[in-house]
Every structure is written in structure tokens, then in C-alpha cells.
């Protein structure tokens, strides 16, 4: 029948694997402004591949950015070690070009209008469609893929993950500044990115069939031509058999990335296990999910978040500590107990947005000093 809804095959993952994508910015060693030298870095790095053939250094929308990509791993530790060796290769390529590496959700003072675009049919179409908002996307994030065994589990898990959305955003918030100004937000990136027409919070479908109907409608009306054009904060990745969590701002150090990735890995695996045990997973109404996203973006670790469908609220860090305790057995099974425990250190030492503001205050507003501190953190 013409116009029939086509199936969206989900590959499925027999094990709860993990893969990480880490967007890294290039900055000039002297001025600390962004450097549009990604092409030269790619040429120097060459075709770097993971153990499973995954291309480990890839292009992004802007020519001031490289993305580090892991292969498929069983543990967070393996994925982070993969990233470490890839970053060393990128750093060796960038150094002779007078370029350092840093990661945060935004750059403290760079101007979007000075950035050069990577030319490709996909990126050209994105900018043609989104215009000013598309050109504004001077932002960096971390994406974590976790393997899920069957498509019928995807949306129950995805919908329940939204309860932990504000925890992940608050922990990773690293974009308080934009074009030289403090925005007053912990994560300006999260709210900027949702301005794109296919970005932002996911729809809470009841099952995979509803999702297939959505994909049909979007493709028929030209909203996107491939699933990669769906830029949700949490989305299915059918080709890989994963759920891809894209909530986080750019994380400024390997240790911080490892701890947040461990939290994500444990969350997904715990939810799948609860499904297998016959449990109905908890969810939040979309209006509460939306409010929690805004509160975490605005207030970071000081956010009071809505924790259940009865509209009860808690300080996000209080709820986080209970969550970490509950996930300890899962972390032990996944071999990431140390990384998960380190999540508790982020509120104690300050998330990146707090550390950046501290450096700015101590240097009388010198935002070059903020970039210096981010470069040092990525070196650690």
C-alpha cells in the first residue's frame, strides 16, 4: 500500500556495551580564541581507527572542532582509555599548528560570526534550513551510547531516563558564558541547542511502533531525510542497537567524563534489568521533564527538581546521592564502581560552570584565564 509505514529496524545489542563521542574545541595557544584549523589537524592525524574499525577522529559542523569517537567497549574504563590515546594523537597534530585543546559547553568569549563551517551536503542543508540559529551553534557536548538488547525496551528505558535528565545536565554544565558575557545559566548550551527544529527533548512514545509512525511522518513531510537528522537530547540509534544520551555539556577532563559516562551506563543497564524483572518503569509528565531541563540549565547543581509524577521536589544533589547508592551494585557488575563513586566529587569540588566563574572572579573578569584553566583541565 502506498504510504504505508515502513519498519525501522533496531539492531539490538546482546551486551550492555558503551561508546563515547567527545567534542573537542581547538584554541590558539596565544590569543585563546577559537582556531579554525580542524582540516590541518585531520590531515596530520590521518585515518585513525579503533579496534573495531570505528573512525576515531571525525569532523563536526564547525572547523574549530574535532570529535573523538571510541570503538564499542564493554567498560567505561576501556572507552576512556580509547579516548586518551586518540586525544594524544590529536594533541601531537595540533601542537605544531600553535593550537591547544579544550572542552566546555561553550567558549567564554569567541564570536560565532568568526567561525568557519565544514562543507558537506548534510551541514550545508542544515545551515540553509536553520539560518541564524544554525550559525549560532558554537557549542560542544558529550554523547554516550549504551547497548540495549531489543527495540521493545528502547522507549520504556528512554522515557524513564528522563527522570535523571536534570542530574546529568547539572553535573556536566559547563557553558555559563557566551560571547564574553556571563549568561546567568549553568548550561547555556542546552537551551541554545533546542532552538534547532529537530533538537531538544524527545517525545515519550509508548512503543516502537509509535516511533516508526513518527519517523514516517517526519520523512514524508521533509523534516529530516535520515534518522541522524533527529537531534534529540536522548534518542534511539537503531543502526548501532543503542540509546544515545546527548544531554551533557562538554566535559572538561577525562576523570569527569569517566564518572558521568559511568552514571549513564549504570542508569541504562539498571533500567533494562528492572524491565527484565517485570517492573513498570517510572516516568514523568512531559511538562515536568521540560521544567526540570530548564531548572538544571539555569541553576545547575543548585536546582530543585521534580522527582516523580506526584510533583514532589528535591535538591538535585540530594537526589543524586541516593541514586548513586542505588546504582552501586550495577556499577560493580559493569566494572565501573570507582568511576561511579567519583560522581560525588563533582558537587564537592564544583562543576565546570562553577569553576569557570571562580577563575573569572579571581582574575578580575579575564576570560583568557578561564580558557587557560580549561586547557589545563583537559591535560590532566
pLDDT (tens digit per residue) in 281-311:
999 999 999 999 999 999 999 999 999 999 9
Give the separation between CA 85 and CA 83, rounded to whole angstroms.
Answer: 6
Does pLDDT of 317 surpass 50? yes
Whole-angstrom CA distances from 95 to 280, 296, 363, 367, 377 are 52, 36, 26, 22, 17
What is the band of 26 on the pLDDT scale with cuts at 50, 70, 90? very high
Write out pLDDT tens, residues 332-371: 999 999 999 999 999 999 999 999 999 999 999 999 999 9
Cell of 69: 569517537
- What letter does residue 335 receive in the DSSP assignment? T
Query: SS3 of 118, please?
Result: coil
Q: What are phi and psi of 89, to 5 degrees?
A: -65, -40
- Give the residue from 274, 278, 248 showing the smallest Cα distance to 261: 248
Write out pLDDT tens, residues 214-236: 999 999 999 988 898 899 999 99
| Bridge pairing between strands 231-232 and 199-200 | parallel
Q: What are phi and psi of 233, to 5 degrees?
A: -65, -30
Average pLDDT, the chain: 95
Looking at 119-123, 291-295, 323-327, which range is the least confident one? 119-123
Say which residues have a Cβ less than 8 Å from residue 124's Cβ, sequence separation at least 6: none
What is the band of 129 on the pLDDT scale with cuts at 50, 70, 90? confident
Does pLDDT of 1 surpass 50? no
pLDDT at position 121, please? 72
Write out pLDDT tens, residues 30-39: 999 999 999 9
User: What is the H or E stretch that residue 305 is in?
Assistant: strand 304-306
Q: Is the pTM here over 0.85, yes or no?
A: yes
What is the band of 119 on the pLDDT scale with cuts at 50, 70, 90? low
Does pLDDT of 120 surpass 80? no
Exposed, middle or buried, 362 (CB in 10 Å: 0-12/13-18/19+)? exposed
Q: Which residue do the cell numbers 502506498 mark?
A: 2
Kindly state the percentage of the chain with pLDDT values over 70.
98
Write out pLDDT tens, residues 42-59: 999 999 998 899 999 998
Average pLDDT over residues 102-106: 98
Beta bridge partners of 49: 55
Does pLDDT of 144 surpass 60? yes
Amino acid at each position: 500500500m502506498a504510504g504505508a509505514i515502513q519498519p525501522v529496524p533496531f539492531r539490538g545489542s546482546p551486551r550492555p556495551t558503551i561508546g563515547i563521542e567527545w567534542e573537542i574545541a581547538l584554541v590558539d595557544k596565544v590569543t585563546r580564541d577559537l582556531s579554525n584549523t580542524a582540516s590541518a589537524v585531520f590531515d596530520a592525524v590521518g585515518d585513525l581507527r579503533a579496534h573495531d574499525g570505528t573512525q576515531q577522529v571525525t569532523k563536526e559542523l564547525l572547523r574549530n572542532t574535532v570529535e573523538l569517537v571510541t570503538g564499542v567497549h564493554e567498560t567505561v574504563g576501556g572507552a576512556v582509555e580509547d579516548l586518551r590515546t586518540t586525544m594524544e594523537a590529536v594533541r601531537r597534530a595540533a601542537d605544531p599548528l600553535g593550537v591547544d585543546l579544550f572542552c566546555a559547553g561553550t567558549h567564554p568569549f569567541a564570536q560565532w560570526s568568526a567561525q568557519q563551517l565544514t562543507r558537506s551536503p548534510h551541514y550545508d542543508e542544515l545551515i540553509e534550513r536553520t539560518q541564524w540559529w544554525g550559525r549560532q551553534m558554537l557549542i560542544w557536548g558529550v554523547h554516550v551510547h549504551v547497548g540495549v538488547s531489543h527495540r521493545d525496551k528502547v522507549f520504556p528505558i528512554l522515557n524513564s531516563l528522563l527522570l535523571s535528565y536534570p542530574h546529568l545536565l547539572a553535573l556536566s554544565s559547563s557553558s555559563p558564558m557566551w560571547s564574553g558575557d556571563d549568561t546567568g545559566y549553568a548550561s547555556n548550551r542546552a537551551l541554545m541547542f533546542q532552538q534547532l527544529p529537530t533538537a531538544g527533548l524527545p517525545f515519550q512514545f509508548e512503543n516502537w511502533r509509535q516511533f516508526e509512525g513518527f519517523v514516517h511522518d517526519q520523512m514524508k513531510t521533509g523534516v529530516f531525510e535520515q534518522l541522524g537528522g533527529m537531534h534529540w537530547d536522548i534518542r534511539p540509534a537503531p543502526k548501532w542497537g543503542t540509546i544515545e544520551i546527548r544531554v551533557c555539556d562538554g566535559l572538561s577532563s577525562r576523570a569527569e567524563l569517566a564518572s558521568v559516562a559511568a552514571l549513564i551506563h549504570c542508569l541504562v543497564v539498571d533500567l533494562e534489568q528492572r524491565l527484565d524483572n517485570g517492573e513498570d518503569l517510572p516516568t514523568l509528565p512531559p511538562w515536568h521533564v521540560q521544567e526540570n531541563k530548564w531548572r538544571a540549565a539555569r541553576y545547575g547543581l543548585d536546582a530543585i527538581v521534580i522527582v516523580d509524577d506526584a510533583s514532589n521536589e528535591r535538591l538535585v544533589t540530594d537526589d543524586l546521592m541516593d541514586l548513586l547508592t542505588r546504582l552501586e551494585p550495577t556499577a560493580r557488575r559493569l566494572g565501573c564502581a570507582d568511576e561511579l563513586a567519583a560522581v560525588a566529587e563533582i558537587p564537592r569540588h564544583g562543576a565546570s560552570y562553577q569553576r569557570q566563574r571562580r577563575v573569572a572572579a579571581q582574575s578580575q573578569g579575564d576570560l583568557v584565564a578561564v580558557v587557560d584553566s580549561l586547557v589545563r583541565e583537559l591535560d590532566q
